[in-house]
Chains A and B, each alone.
Chain A
Amino acid sequence: MASRYSMWSVFRNGLSGQQHWDRVWRDPEPASHYDVVIVGGGLHGLATAYYLKKMHGIRRVAVLEKGWIGGGNAGRNTTIVRSNYRLPGNREFYEHSLSLWENLSHELNYNVMFSQRGHVTVLHSPGAIDTFSRTYNTLRMTGSDGEFWDLDTLKKNIPHLNYAADARFPIYGATVQPRAGTARHDAVVWGYARAADALGVDLIQNCEVTGITRDADRIASLQTSRGVITGDKTAFAVAGHTSQLWHMAGLGGLPIESHKLQAFVSEPLKPLLDHVVAFSVGGGLFYVSQSDKGGMVFGGDLDWYKSYAQRGNLPMVQNVAECATALLPCLGRVRLLRHWAGVMDMSMDGSFFICKTPLSNLYLNAGWNYGGFKASPASGWYFADLIANDRPHDVIRHHDLQRFARGYIIDERGAGADPKLHG
């Protein structure tokens, strides 16, 4: 088991040339049977494994990952953490997640570099101010934090936005969540992986689930690239590839489509932006923060057509660059260092699923759209609670697959049954 990280361990290993650190997690051979088998070694799978052990004392837990831990969306996102969701269910869930983030580095004994630098949504019309004030008032009335910044306050805090009177999108003010911010995505992955491993979870990498054998309404076994593995309970947490596993289990369609989202990072700059800034107008979406290394980390909309290709298209690069310079003209001559894409599990109403399934020993975690990074601690918490107790927690009782048939649609944007319109 890995030793505890502390100031003392950093000091001691510094003296011995960094040669004596323990392996961060084991690399076990898969056993043939587990109490719970989680498919997908992204943040949601890893967090679920951790809380299954920590809160529910489940004995034999494995996470099966087809590539390497954190090689999916967990390691591809723009790392924004906030809880400014308005609808019942989402509100409590994301607030719980934010409170877990606030203690996560201590909980995991791993510095996840959670930086509560504040999330600023820039507003471009009186109508936008009204709509967002409603949401942020809801935050304040339900135990969270939310502020409105008028133009003077905004200018004082972020002086270099485009405040010109003839700007394409004149700025009227901003809504702000001060407790929101960013975290280092890889550190969260490694932190959960290390903490889960230390509690005895088997993290099995290079282990792709390639087929599923059913026994009536149960999953009997999983065929994997590392042999047959059985679990009393099976849990899917594979984000953009949920439909593939669903088909393998012979379960048909899902209220999910896979779309891709790009992210970008620039060459490092001197300190420029202290907050996370989000910009959203008809036809343009843009969010940006500055990493500790100085790179501007930003993203925009989906590539606009369904896709499983983990690479982005050029029209969206142009769209995002246009948004960037509309909001922050000073970025005009900054060079891009890298850009990449991830496959998103876009749901029909923009909200997630943590729920039971038509099979009695299968549980589903999916539909994260492009907001699942912030959700990962609570996602693991509620999913573990569901798997261990075989019933949904009250907070997520509406986040099931039947909500559409019940007419209980959880659509924050009010965009309708079209996955590419959510986010």
Chain B
Amino acid sequence: MIKIDCPFCGVRDHSEFSYGGDGSIEWPALDASASDWVTAVYERDNIRGKQWETWHHLYGCRQWLLVERDTLTHEIHTVKLAHSGCGQLSR
């Protein structure tokens, strides 16, 4: 079982979370070209190793988190809030 240290709730089993996906995607501006949008929506580096990804603490505080995880060993390196708004609240 992967354990994720939620900044709000503490260490919890991953089964409390819902997996989002690649957390390194930068969404283009709304008026960016279609090809920029195709790249952002459809293309993934699909890293074998450390990558940033989004996890939703669905059965906990329901906040979105950014998690740095190794996709081969499942080791978790860093957990932080996905939105700066949450960051201000937590202070």
Report A's interface with B, CB cutoff 8 A: 241, 243-244, 247, 252-258, 304-309, 313-315, 348, 404-405, 417-420
Contacts and interface: CB of A to CB of B under 8 A. Distances in A.
Interface string B57-91: 00000000000000111100000000000000000
Contact of B48 (A243, A314, A315, A419): A243
A417 B1 contact: no
Contacts of A243: 44-48
B84 to A, nearest CB: 24
B71 A405 contact: no
Contacts of B74: 307, 309
Given A315-B1, A405-B35, A417-B41, A304 B46 contact: no
Nearest to B69: A305
Interface in B38-62: 38-39, 41-48, 51, 53
A258 B74 CA distance: 13
A92 to B, nearest CB: 24
Nearest to A315: B15
B7 interface: no
B14 A305 contact: yes
Given A308-B71, A309-B72, A315-B1, A254 B21 contact: no
A253 B46 contact: yes
Contacts of B43: 252-255
Nearest to A348: B42
A255 B38 CA distance: 10
Contacts of A253: 39, 43-46
A306 B70 CA distance: 10
A308 B43 CA distance: 18
Contacts of B35: 405
A309 B46 CA distance: 13
A241 B48 CA distance: 9
Contacts of A417: 41-42
Interface residues of B, number: 27
Interface of B: 1-2, 13-15, 18-19, 21-22, 34-35, 38-39, 41-48, 51, 53, 71-74
A92 B76 CA distance: 44
A309 B70 CA distance: 10
- Which 5 pairs from chain A and chain B are nearest by CB? A253-B43, A243-B46, A305-B19, A315-B15, A404-B42
24 contacts: A241-B48, A243-B47, A243-B48, A244-B48, A253-B43, A253-B44, A253-B46, A254-B46, A255-B42, A255-B44, A256-B46, A257-B22, A304-B18, A305-B19, A306-B22, A307-B74, A308-B48, A308-B72, A309-B71, A315-B15, A348-B42, A405-B34, A405-B38, A417-B41
Given A305-B14, A306-B71, A307-B71, A257 B19 contact: no
Contacts of B42: 255, 348, 404, 417
A169 B19 CA distance: 26
A404 B44 contact: no
A58 B43 CA distance: 34
A304 B19 contact: yes
B12 to A, nearest CB: 13
Contacts of B19: 304-306, 420
Nearest to A307: B71
Nearest to A405: B38
B38 A404 contact: yes
Nearest to A306: B71
A404 B44 CA distance: 13
A395 B47 CA distance: 32
A150 B47 CA distance: 47
A418 B35 CA distance: 18
Nearest to B45: A253
